[in-house]
Amino acid sequence: MKRTFLILASALALPMWALAENNTAPAADNTERNRRDSDGSTVTPEDQSGRPEDRQLTQSIRQAIMKDSSLSMTAKNVKIITANGTVTLRGPVNSTEEMKKVNDLAKAAAGSTPVHNQLEVKASN
């Protein structure tokens, strides 16, 4: 009976200990980034134009990025905002190579439309 109790107690204590260890990691703090994005000085996805030509350009860039199998899912999820005759790329990518690749794909799809690259390389953990 004691042996069964010890086995059950150990089995229950181990997951709780693992959960307690995970709580020691620092919480993500995007306060400054959120403040920057809410002050109106940066372009956000809410600024995407509803004009058909802007939506079509955004779609063309997204399709070019999604077709590239060398890009990570992080890079494929960047924000593409087209408004007022300008494309803005925002969000994280995994490397400077991905940043360049996404920027090059956007410029190729955009033609003469200016592309503002505001992509950021994620910090490695």
The tokens describing 84, both together, are 């007022």
- Read off the pLDDT of residues 77-110 as tens digits, 9 standing for 90 and up: 999 999 988 999 999 999 999 999 999 999 999 9
Query: Which of the pair, 66 or 20, is modelled with greater confidence?
Result: 66
What's the rounded mean pLDDT across residues 24-52?
A: 67
Domain 44-125 annotated CATH 3.65.10.10: no
Burial of 36 (0-12, 13-18, 19+ CB in 10 A): exposed
Reported as a pLDDT band with limits 50, 70 and 90, residue 16 is: low
Residue 69, φ and ψ in degrees, nearest 5? -75, -10
Concatenating the DSSP letter of every residue in 9-54 gives HHHHHHHHHHHHHHTTSPPP--HHHHHHHHTTSS--GGG---SHHH
Q: What was the pLDDT predicted at 73?
A: 96
Residue 110 half-sphere exposure toward CB, CA atoms < 13 A: 25
Q: Where are the domains of the chain?
A: 44-125
